[in-house]
Amino acid sequence: MIAIHPRPGSFSDRWIQYCEEHTVPYKLVNCYDNDIIDQLRECKGLMWHWAHHDHKAVLFARQLTYSLEQAGIKVFPDSRTCWHFDDKVGQKYLLESLATPLVKTFVFYEKNTALEWSRSVRYPVVNKLRGGAGSENVKLVNSQSEASRIIRRAFGKGYKQKRRRYFLRERLWQFRRDRNFRSFLNLSKGLARLVIPTESEKQLPREKNYVYFQEFIPGSSFDIRVVVVGKRAFALKRGVREGDFRASGSGVKEYDPARIPIECVKTAFYLTTKLGGQSLAFDMIMCDNNASIIEMSYAFVTTTFPGFWDEKLEWISGECRVEDFVIKDFLNEIKEKACDAQK
């Protein structure tokens, strides 16, 4: 028996479907329950696709995961897969320690050290918060005075992780791009959100007392996302927004495998093996024909892929979804563990 925490719209939709179709015994649980550990006693595994913007999940999901692992219960995402999730600061140290081609990244915890650095660097540079998705907390910094303003604020009142004005601008851009009823509704929702903030905007703590900058890689009209699940790699290419350098969240996506530099697939396989993650998405940009990592995450918006590369870098054609492979691998590992225990 495995346990699944259902979150509509997340990986759990397909996991539940998979269990039903393959008669896998499962039960639905609520990880926020105080007695969750007791509820999981009869289970071999827990699957919970928690999101970065769930302010309650980020309070304890990692701690719950680690505790269950100590008791021999398998978890998706496991600790190795999720400890660095939505944490670009953590990822900087992890990727640097593995000597991977991370875009040069600078993090400061002292205002004066950051200001000193800002006087010595060539502009533009990129500023980010440690969390966020869809480019929401990523901006180009063109001058030292701009950098200095960002640094003073980072060590002063800090930044909100979710900003409704930003989302309204995004919705406006999507409306201009699509000009259909759906994007119009979306824009209207954004206007309403100006008055009524989302729960995550209200509840997530402010980001402060650190500042994050990255070298700017110029001239990229796209980024590449490679998702590795076990020994399979899925990829897509994401175009930048018009007149902007940021691809993540643009909605401009391409899945043709012929357009994905195989270099990116190799790098993603190599890193997943090193990191030991169950499912990891790597966002990369090409820099002088080399794939440089900008960030990684276990949870992402997913869709149907036209196929995947296997570990020999051979393309396996056929529509598929990553969530199905996540649960397949998860169940296999539980089975293997049970067999090992019987030996």
Ligand X SMILES: Nc1ncnc2c1ncn2[C@@H]1O[C@H](COP(=O)(O)OP(=O)(O)O)[C@@H](O)[C@H]1O
CA distance 294 to 31: 31
> Which residue of the chain is nearest Mg ion when measured via CB?
248
- The DSSP code for 260 is S
283 binds Mg ion (CB under 5 A): yes
202: left (phi over 0), alpha (psi -120 to 50) or beta: alpha
294 binds ligand X (CB under 6 A): yes
The pattern of x and - marking residues 27 through 66 that bind Mg ion according to CB under 5 A reads: ----------------------------------------
CA distance 258 to 235: 11
CA distance 244 to 221: 9
Cβ closest to ligand X, residue 11 vs residue 216? 216
Residues from 191 through 220 that contact ligand X (CB under 6 A)? 214-217, 220
221 closest CA partner among 206, 208, 238, 204: 238
| Partner from ligand X, Mg ion, none binding residue 171, C-beta < 5-8 Å depending on class | none
Q: Which stretch binds Mg ion (CB under 5 A): 58-66, 195-203, 293-301, 332-340?
A: 293-301
| Partner from ligand X, Mg ion, none binding residue 245, C-beta < 5-8 Å depending on class | ligand X
CA distance 1 to 177: 46
Q: What is the β-pairing status of strands 211-215 and 125-128?
A: antiparallel
Cβ closest to ligand X, residue 126 vs residue 154? 126
Residues from 244 through 263 that contact Mg ion (CB under 5 A)? 248
Is-contact 192 240, C-beta < 8 A?
A: no
Per CB under 6 A, the list member of 103, 150, 211, 224 interacting with ligand X is 103
- The DSSP code for 102 is B
Q: Which residues make up the interface to ligand X (CB under 6 A)?
A: 103, 126, 128, 132-136, 138, 214-217, 220, 223, 240, 245-248, 283, 285, 294-295
